[in-house]
Amino acid sequence: MELTMTTFDKREQGFEAKFAHDEELIFKATARSNKLLGLWAAGQLGLSGDAAKSYSTALATDHLESRTMDEVLDKVSGDLAAKGVAREQVAAKFQECLHQAIQQLEAKE
């Protein structure tokens, strides 16, 4: 019986470690994709250099744990509305940035 408990405990620890790893990957991918989206949006807004970096960093770090994807899209869409960029374009770019961020993170592992 002790052997079964040990095997079960090890399996449980493995699942917990994988869950923690996956959660960390999601957090990092979200932050990275928000930063990539921010750099793209900054370019659309005509920002460059430090201004572009500040915009993208703020998008990636401000309220990261509580901000939803919809809130990020609303923020960027609102900022780009005057430039004629539709929310659908921002959403498509966000998906592209998220895919790119996940690829970058997986390449690091």
Q: Could you read off the pLDDT of 20-38 as tens digits, one per residue?
A: 777 888 888 999 999 999 9
- Domains of the chain: total: 1
Residue 47 has phi, psi (to 5 degrees) of: -85, 150
Sign for the CA dihedral angle at 16, 22, 26, 29 comes to positive
Which domain CATH number covers 63? 1.10.790.20
Q: Which domain holds residue 70?
A: 2-108
What does each C-alpha distance from 35 to 31, 81, 93, 106, 109 come to in angstroms? 6, 19, 12, 17, 20
Tell me how far apart the terminal alpha carbons of the chain are, to the nearest angstrom. 37
Average pLDDT over residues 67-88: 93
Give the span between the Cα atoms of 99 and 48, in whole angstroms.
24
Q: Name residue 16's amino acid.
A: E
Band (4; pLDDT cuts 50, 70, 90): low
pTM assigned to the model? 0.79
